[in-house]
Chains A and B, each alone.
Chain A
Amino acid sequence: MTFQIILLAALVLASAAAILAKDLLKSAVALAVASLFLGIIFFRMGAPYAGVFEISVVAGLITVLFMLTIALTKQGGDVRESKTVKVVFPLFFAVFLLIDFFVMRGILAQVPALEGAAEAGTFGDVLWKERSFDLIGQLAVILAGVFAVLALFRKRNHHDH
């Protein structure tokens, strides 16, 4: 468990770095590192498929998309972020951590839950047989994304309303 906590802390630090970094490219890399840690956390929880997906898709594909976008939008110069927010951040962060720690433990311990049945079959069974409707949904959302990108980058001859 302690190793998980170390990994979780690393995840949080990497995410904080992604948000606070001034250079967008460093932000994207920090986000990828965070995904890497999350993937390892998943793996150690006994969820190898989720871990693999997290690392290859989020740390891989999404990071590539971000870097592509950053490259395509570099010319405009950097956007000045407000300095005060970065200075104030540690304060808010510390306050939040305190609230989080004390409140969550009390609340969450009291969440009632039903006993569940043991899981049968393999991951493949669950994904393909039990959650097959989700696969249709996944197909639909992929189509939506593909058509969205095609539509938003289409060639325009002379656009007029």
Chain B
Amino acid sequence: MIFIYIGLPLAVAAVLPLAGKASRRVLPDILSNAVLAGLLAYAVTGAKTLLVHGPIVQQVRWFGEAVNIRIALDGFSLFMLMAIQLVSLCVGLYSINYMEHYGAKANYYALLLVMVAGMNGLVLSQDLFSVYLFLEVAAVASYALVAYGLEAEELEASFKYLMLSVVASAAVLLAVTVLYGMTGALGFDAVAEGLRQLEAKAVVGVAAALFLMGFGLKAALIPFHAWLPDAHPSAPAPISAILSGLLIKVSGVYAITRIFFHVIGLTPALSQVLMWLAAVSVVVAAFLALGQKDMKRMLAYSSISQVGYVVLGLGLGTPLGVAGGLFHLFNHAIAKSLLFFTSGSVQQATGTRNLDEMGGLAKRMPWTAGTNLVGSLSIAGVPPLGGFWSKLVIIMALVQAREWSLAVIAVLASVLTLWYYLILQRKAFFGKLAERWAQVKEAPFWMTAATVILALLVIGVGLWFAAAFSSWVQPAADALAKGF
């Protein structure tokens, strides 16, 4: 019953406006979070056992007739599903308090659920066109969510994001059309088979370049990153979290990985292109993050940099590299969401995102400061937190593959990452408590709860990384290596 991942969020989203009319506050919150919690529980427990027998292919039946909805679940998509439900649930919980003053909460939750349904659909698709379709579903929902606050800054960010993203989607669809034109098929297996029979390196190269442009923009790889530093800071904090934590990874990294590994095939040339693009992202974004005064903008540039690490590992293509990349994808998803949550708490308490204006907030907001520290250290790669292990694996994989220059770049950029996160910590939370912040309060219950859940996860994954690695990441990496 894996169709439930797409069907349930959509069904609940459709009825949310009615629920919202019935009870303005409580019902939409409960419904949405219950859906997300249920899907997460299913991903962690039920689906895992289903997978013991190999990848599941589900043939859905409508009213007795076999309808052609073939969705398949393998280690990689289950890994992504689990990450999506987990972060989305925390976003849903956080939004209970944060979105109070924005109005029309039922509508907000409906958009959130549609976005989750879109991401789930993307991950479960077996078909190039379906990938494009659900990509657009999630994207349209995200445009509205970025602009949700209806302030000038948010609208401007949403417009710029929208413009660039639509061109990227067009590039993706063109690439899909090229592959379809050559092989006459749209399903992953059929297209892969067809490409194997044809010998068309040049044209496949064109399709690969178009995919790279399209998905590269969704994943905010440099030079396609220009929209992210505007869109992510301006959006409401929980939306920044889901965009940085999930959307760029699902619609960017997952899509390009799935297509390059299972359909086109990762050639050495492609691998080099991916890795060097990723390396540029890692370094340039880290430098740009250093100079930022806006807390969320610094986090946004950090996302670009960390996604670079993920693509670096995945682009390497070796089993260790792929595993490291996937592990870092997960670590960054939970840690970056956590950081955007805490930045939202700070913004709500103090009314500013400017690091120079903050100071000493740790005294008044201990939970926020503590969880922020955990998230920062994890991304910066400080042991024993999760980010350290995933970066280590990526660097080891690079060394193992004799990519010395890339390994050195990865290590040096790690130092940069630690540097700007320490700046963030010092400026916002430590130091002297400025006069005007003497009265700020800790964040409301659900916001704090969401950050604590994620922080515990970050610590847990770090301490028990071997278990996390072998039970979740390794099957995903194996699935990628194998194909269907």
Contact = CB atoms under 8 A, between A and B. Distances in A.
Interface stretch (A40-48, A72-80, A92-100, A130-138): A130-138
Interface in B87-113: 101-104, 107-108, 110-111
Query: Would you list the 5 A-B pairs with minimal beta carbon distance, nearest first?
Result: A148-B144, A137-B133, A116-B184, A144-B140, A140-B137
A160 B110 CA distance: 21
Interface residues on B, range: 35 or more
B64 interface: no
B121 A111 contact: no
Interface in B13-48: 13-14, 17
Contact of A140 (B103, B118, B347): B118
A115 B199 CA distance: 14
Given A140-B117, A147-B13, A161-B351, A134 B130 contact: yes
Contacts of B227: none
B399 interface: no
The main secondary structure of chain B at its interface with chain A is helix
Contacts of A131: 68, 129
B121 A156 contact: no
B181 interface: yes
B166 interface: no
The main secondary structure of chain A at its interface with chain B is helix
Interface in B137-155: 137, 140-141, 143-144, 147-151
Contacts of B136: 141
A83 interface: no
24 contacts: A113-B183, A113-B184, A131-B129, A132-B62, A133-B68, A133-B71, A133-B127, A134-B130, A137-B133, A137-B134, A140-B117, A140-B118, A140-B134, A140-B137, A141-B136, A147-B141, A148-B143, A150-B17, A152-B150, A157-B103, A159-B101, A159-B150, A161-B101, A161-B347
A112 interface: yes
In this complex, which of A117, A134, A148 has the most chain B Cβ atoms within 10 angstroms of its Cβ?
A148
Contact of A114 (B6, B10, B148, B198): B198
Given A139-B10, A144-B114, A112 B121 contact: no
Interface string A118-151: 0000000000011111101111110111011011
Contact of B137 (A137, A155, A160): A137
Interface string B138-177: 0011011001111100000000000000000000000000
Contacts of B104: 150-151, 154
A152 B147 contact: yes
Contacts of A136: 6-7, 10, 69, 121
A159 B102 contact: yes
A151 B108 contact: yes
B275 to A, nearest CB: 28
A90 to B, nearest CB: 24
Given A112-B198, A131-B68, A161-B149, A140 B101 contact: no
A139 B143 CA distance: 18
Given A111-B200, A154-B103, A133 B149 contact: no
B197 interface: yes
B364 to A, nearest CB: 19
Nearest to B126: A133
Contacts of A145: 140
B475 interface: no
Nearest to A139: B10
B67 interface: yes
In this complex, which of A138, A143, A147, A160 has the most chain B Cβ atoms within 10 angstroms of its Cβ?
A147
B203 interface: yes
A143 B108 CA distance: 12
A112 B114 contact: no
A152 B71 CA distance: 33
B103 A156 contact: yes
A129 B129 CA distance: 15
A156 B151 CA distance: 12
B181 A113 contact: yes
A124 to B, nearest CB: 13
Contacts of A112: 182, 198-200, 203
A134 B348 CA distance: 41
Contacts of A137: 121, 130, 133-134, 137
Interface in B378-410: none
B133 A134 contact: yes
B319 interface: no
B67 A129 contact: yes
B194 interface: yes
Contacts of A159: 101-103, 149-151
Contacts of B129: 131, 134
A56 B144 CA distance: 26
